[in-house]
Copies of this chain bind each other. A is one copy, B any other.
Amino acid sequence: MRTVLHPARAVALGFLAAIVVGTLLLMLPAARTGPDGAPVLVAFFTAVSAVCVNGLAVVDTGTYWSGFGQGMIMFMFQCGGFGMMTAATLLGLLVNGSPRLRTKLMTHMETRTLGLGDVAAVARLVLVVTFAAELIIAAVLTLRLRYGYDLPWGEAAWSGSFHAVAAFTNAGFSIHPDSMMRYAGDVLVLLPMMLAIVVGGVGFPVLHDLRNRWHDPRHWSLHTKLTLAGTALLLVGGTVALLLAEWHNTRTLGGLPLPDKLLGASFMSVAARTAGFNAVDIGALTQESLALHYFLMFIGGGSASTAGGVKVATVAILVLLVLAEVRGHADTEAFGRRIGASAQRQAITVVVLGSAVVVAGTMVLLAVTDFPTDHIIFEVTSAFGGAGLSTGITAQLPPSGQLLLTLLMYLGRVGTITLAASLVLGGRRMPYRYAEEHPIVG
């Protein structure tokens, strides 16, 4: 195993290759409106953002890029989202799957046969789910744009498809400079998008479990239960908190009637983790809302999904660990199951390393720019968590700052799905154990 390509490393290199190809494609003069091609930094930033289904942008997607360029970007985040879901599912199977399958996959890796059979089976399922969901949402959006906004059929279909794919893949790219702000209050646009975001962001293992055991919630896996409960809690809690924080802010939800307030807050809560569309102006949010966004964006969505962040189940494990400790229980438990010690250690590692990356990124960006701290933290968390929301400073950052954001986007998406797998597969038993000692805590 040590001599062949580690599966986690293969995934990391695959995304890197996609970024390089995407950069070259976006540098073609045909990708950009006007006669010249895009500068390398713009093309690179956009390719990273698209492949990592992030959505941060240094130029306006709808006017800077040609139809061909926008198509390339859509193709990249479609492939990126599909790749995230497939790669994370396979790595997850490798780590957590049945011993039989794990051995089978590892043998494939060792004999360099790449386990094409298993990869194909998972990929096929992901493909079916992806296209079925995207087709339905695209159709709904197209009809709404045709009859509600009088767009010609072609334009309605293009906008509907682009935003349906961007929603399901949680990429959050929009061909509008104001994202979804022109549809604020339109439940027939926002609700389908919220559905696409949630379904794409809940993760393949959960979708798989739901499909196979829809009528039997008691036999869902612990992962499914944790992810669904955590997602519901975050959506409802996020909506209520954002509603309170923006209730009197006339630049966002303040002046709206109650149903529009509710719709706006729930769309914000759904999109913050980690779709990244916005139906209100992010730059006009209160400081409380910005701070709420840090956490929603850092947590993100479900494992092996198109969503980013450290993932709902990871944070759930950490919270359950603390609750167990406070209640004096030796075991960390949920839904009548005990969470394994190694899963707990991995969860802590992912959260601590994720926090360290966000902190380091914030420090560097504070040092190379003069923007206020709350906007810097927002942009760094958005890049790392994959939300792609922006207070508006990303386009104004110096090249060093933009390069830092590309690194954060890559680490945030590719890093989190490969880390847990590398941890487990790289594990080795020590030939001896030291004597135990108990330092004072607190």
Contact = CB atoms under 8 A, between A and B. Distances in A.
Interface stretch (A122-130, A393-401, A415-423): A415-423
Nearest to A370: B287
B348 A322 contact: yes
Interface stretch (A132-140, A145-153, A266-274, A361-369): A361-369
Contact of A340 (B313, B338, B349, B436): B436
Contacts of A235: none
Nearest to A337: B437
A441 interface: yes
For chain A, give the interface size range. Answer: 35 or more
A205 interface: yes
B439 A317 contact: yes
Interface in A194-228: 203, 205, 221-223, 226
B349 A291 contact: no
Interface of A: 92, 95-96, 203, 205, 221-223, 226, 245, 286-288, 290-292, 295, 303-304, 310-311, 313-314, 316-319, 321-322, 325-326, 328-331, 333, 336-343, 345-350, 352-353, 359, 362-363, 366-367, 372-374, 376-377, 416-417, 419-420, 423, 426-430, 433-442
9 contacts: A221-B439, A287-B373, A291-B359, A316-B439, A333-B434, A336-B434, A338-B433, A343-B438, A373-B377
Given A92-B440, A317-B439, A337-B435, 15 more contacts: A205-B440, A221-B439, A226-B439, A303-B442, A304-B440, A311-B440, A321-B348, A328-B423, A333-B434, A336-B434, A338-B435, A339-B439, A343-B438, A343-B439, A417-B442
